[in-house]
Amino acid sequence: MVDINAEGNDMSSLFRPPAISSAIGVLDRSLFSKTINLAAAAVADKKKISAWRQTLQRQGTLLTAERISSIVTHPDKTLAAQGTKCLLLDPKVKAEVPETWTSTIQDGVASKEIGIVPYTLSLDYDYWTHEDVMRSLLPPDLRDSHDGIPGGFNQAGHVAHMNLRDAFLPYKKLIAEVILDKNQAIKTVINKVANVGTESEFRTFAYEVLAGPDDLNVEVRENNCSFRFDYSKVYWNSKLEGEHRRLVDIFKPGEVVCDVMAGIGPFAIPAGKKGVFVWANDYNPESYRYMEENIKRNKVDQYVRPFNQDGRTFIREAADMVYTASVNGEYAVSGPSRRVKRSQHPNSNTADNSMPIPEPKREPVPPTISHFVMNLPATAITFLSHFRGVYAAREELFVPHTSTKLPLVHVHCFAAKADDDTPLIDICERISAEIGVEMKLGEAENAKEVSVLEVRNVAPNKLMFCASFRLPPEVAFAARV
């Protein structure tokens, strides 16, 4: 245990964890115990605690430290038993040195409203944050040469998934232990040992368990939906929750969305919940299986239809299937919400029998797809050539024959970082090469223009983007090969 006298120390050093020389991979939590000698104002009248706290805070003499309450029980056991409380004071105030007391404190002592007493503040391992602990355990030269400490991870349910740099691998068990300690929701920590897609075309990855049980069956809640899956068998990235929400917010109830690389359904299932028809496909049989289960779990099977095909084939087949479903008069039935049903139940206290329960409403499947989503950033752009002829001989379904526009395509992709528009222009050129029509950077609603949105950082020099564009007529209506 480290004993610190507050005299001569500023706040930053007082509340810094002890410097620890630890053997590689060894976490001795007892070494993080630390005591700090402070002064405290014992308030005689319990009713005046709040007033004195505000006064001392305004004067800057109240202790203000993260995760430490300024109100504590009296260090004297007898007084503590009587309920006497103390206010911890800033380290510059010394109990044994009245010269450090402000005039307000001196007046409070003189009037016997408060008394200044020594107080020993004890901190242990539980107090320090993950970053505090790692800064104490990892060698400074290692931190300095590798941009600080390895604290980031991708979380899927109870699993923390790390991608440690080689330099930190000797400390991997130590790092994992601290993550478990400092994140109550985490039960298992794994480290990726190969790049996504290196060993599997399904974007799964080889991993090693660093801490906790080898249990990757997880449950995740995202965008008001529940997903269960084996994290080792499918692709999931919680850092994409915002992107999932952004696109789902664009979709309108009653539209049809074709999710070409749907995974386990992070776009499809929330869209289905808002009444969007989704033809959702994934090439990975395990993703397809879990998507089926999650569609049922979230009760969106009227709106979301799962498929297990190669995306290239699925693009055209989905357009044909949607058209056939519409011609055949297929529909979803939407009834009143559970809240409305409960309010109209005869046994309900709020029942208004004069108000009839709304009849279920039929929502027909429209004949065309409004959006294609292609979330396979490594290769999705190469699938775009298969849009050629997707609506061959069906021009009458779209403008100018109807008010329906050709589908918006949202294709995710990677590109290098740059300080200008070079990556965005490069993405447009790659799209142009695949669909055979020159596309320029601009607004997706304008003919032959692409809007490109940055989604997230992937690596120091690599970004993920989403490129959106309206499918050009010369592509959609071209003759099928």
How many C-beta neighbours within 10 Å does residue 350 have?
8
Domains identified in the chain and CATH numbers: 2-123 (3.30.70), 130-215 (3.30.300.110), 232-476 (3.40.50.150)
pLDDT over threshold 70, residue 292: yes
| SS3 state at 374 | strand
Identity (one letter) of the amino acid at 393?
A
Between 313 and 25, name the one with better pLDDT: 313
Residue set of the binding site for S-adenosyl-L-methionine:
244, 310-311, 375
Please tell me the distance from the alpha carbon of residue 216 to that of residue 103, in angstroms, as a whole number.
61
DSSP label at residue 81? H
Write out pLDDT tens, residues 64-81.
998 999 999 999 999 999
pLDDT at 153: 86
pLDDT at 2: 45
pLDDT at 189: 96
**Cα-to-chain-centroid distance, residue 324:** 38
Lowest mean pLDDT among 269-278, 336-345, 380-389: 336-345
In degrees and rounded to multiples of 5, residue 411 shows phi and psi of: -115, 125
pLDDT over threshold 80, residue 150: no
Say if residues 475 and 388 touch (Cβ distance below 8 Å): yes
Please tell me the distance from the alpha carbon of residue 415 to that of residue 430, in angstroms, as a whole number.
11
Mean pLDDT calculated for residue range 131-137 = 86
Mean pLDDT calculated for residue range 247-267 = 98
Cα 403–405–409 angle (5° rounding)? 160
Residue set of the binding site:
244, 310-311, 375
Please tell me the distance from the alpha carbon of residue 409 to that of residue 467, in angstroms, as a whole number.
8
Please tell me the distance from the alpha carbon of residue 273 to that of residue 257, in angstroms, as a whole number.
13
| SS3 state at 50 | helix
pLDDT over threshold 70, residue 1: no
How many C-beta neighbours within 10 Å does residue 120 have?
11
Q: Which two tokens stand for residue 162?
A: 């790390």
pLDDT at 388: 97
Mean pLDDT calculated for residue range 361-385 = 97
DSSP code string of 405-425: PPPEEEEEEEEE--SSSHHHH
pLDDT at 184: 93
Reported in sequence order, the residue ranges of 308-360 that DSSP labels E, i.e. its strands, are 331-334
Identity (one letter) of the amino acid at 134?
M
| SS3 state at 235 | coil
Dihedral over alpha carbons 16, 17, 19, 23 (to 10 degrees): -150
pTM of the entire structure? 0.82
User: What is the average pLDDT value for the chain, to the nearest integer?
Assistant: 90
Please tell me the distance from the alpha carbon of residue 434 to that of residue 386, in angstroms, as a whole number.
9
Long-range contacts of 6-13 (CB under 8 A, 24+ apart): 6/36, 6/37, 6/38, 6/39, 6/91, 6/94, 7/91, 7/94, 9/91, 10/91, 11/65, 11/90, 11/91
pLDDT band at 227 (very low <50, low <70, confident <90, very high): very high
pLDDT at 4: 45
pLDDT band at 198 (very low <50, low <70, confident <90, very high): very low
Write out pLDDT tens, residues 162-193.
988 888 898 899 999 999 999 999 999 999 88
pLDDT at 334: 82
pLDDT at 181: 94
pLDDT at 21: 64
pLDDT at 8: 46
pLDDT at 151: 67
> Percent of the chain having pLDDT more than 90?
74
DSSP label at residue 309? S
> Percent of the chain having pLDDT more than 70?
88
Q: Which two tokens stand for residue 149?
A: 């400490």
Write out pLDDT tens, residues 403-420.
999 999 999 999 999 999
Write out pLDDT tens, residues 447-465.
999 999 999 998 889 999 9
